Amino acid sequence: MLEGFEESTFCHEGVTHPVFSAGQGPGVLIMHEVPGLYPAVIEFAERVVAAGFRVALPELFGTPGRPLSAGYALGQIGRACIGREFHVLASRRSSPITVWLRALCRQLHAECGGPGVGAIGMCLTGNFALSLMVDPWVMAPVLSQPSLPFPLGAERRRGLHLSDDDLKVVRRRACEEGAGVLGLRFTGDVMSPPERFERLAEELGDGFEAIEIDSGKGNLHGIPARAHSVVTGDLVDEAGHPTRVALDRVLAFFDERLRA
């Protein structure tokens, strides 16, 4: 796994993580989901590279290339819950790791140039793209099954994992400056509840584009109720399948926002 990617380390304010990079073109930051850089996340990154983008793939936790398993995923969730870099229950503030990710986006834009960079977060990192959007060079933020804060209680189900001040900036950029937000989720996903997308629509109006894929009982495509990872683990790579349509929309979104 990760063949063709260059490995480096990126340091900012005392925080250091490995970063895997590949491709040429506008920059796209891919923030992996739980449990880490497992094969389906790497395959998604390879698709983005093949579409003509320069990908930065930081390793925030987990073991690169290790296959997904229930025990592995639970272990990494536990690590995130007790780690200082993630605040998994915070409704109105971002996790500390977003400071490091913003700096990485700044370096990626300096390296690649152009109108700006794209950023996609998934699951535990899903809402992070909103935090990165505070900076003007983040032009194409994608929230795939955003799961923070963990949806325990009504307030957290609507929570955006973002401070009130940062939300004002995000609202201005999405509504007035054209840097809209793309969101993806399955309708039956308990970790990424519908109230969160409803809140995003209330806050951002036409600046929020939502793709909600039916995973309810008896759905047309037989998508299981447990489906969670739209463009990675639960992707069905068949023309016309809703997950493939969502993947194609993500790539088109990057094209629209990042090509000069």
Question: 40-90: per-residue pLDDT in tens?
Answer: 999 999 999 999 999 999 999 999 999 999 999 999 999 888 888 999 999
Residue 181: per-residue pLDDT: 98
Radius of gyration of the chain (CA): 17
Tell me the sheet residues that pair with 31. Answer: 121
Share above pLDDT 70 across residues of the chain, in percent, rounded to a whole number: 100
User: Burial level of 244, CB count in 10 A (0-12/13-18/19+)?
Assistant: middle
- Say whether pLDDT at 1 is over 80: no
Q: Which two tokens stand for residue 193?
A: 């509840």
At 12, list the tokens: 């900012």
**How much is the pTM?**
0.96
Mean pLDDT confidence for 156-180: 95
Checking if the pLDDT of 245 tops 90, the result is yes
The Cα 45–Cα 254 span in angstroms is 13
CB atoms near residue 51 (< 10 Å): 17
Q: Please, are residues 235 and 248 in contact by the beta-carbon 8 Å criterion?
A: no
Has residue 231 got a pLDDT over 80? yes
Strand order in the sheet with 208-213: 6-12, 15-22, 54-58, 27-31, 117-122, 138-144, 181-186, 208-213
Q: Which of 81-95, 100-114, 133-147 shows the lowest per-residue confidence on average (mean pLDDT)?
A: 81-95
pLDDT in tens, 172-221: 999 998 889 999 999 999 999 999 999 999 999 999 999 999 999 999 99
On the question of pLDDT at 16 being above 80, the answer is: yes
CATH class of 6-258: alpha beta
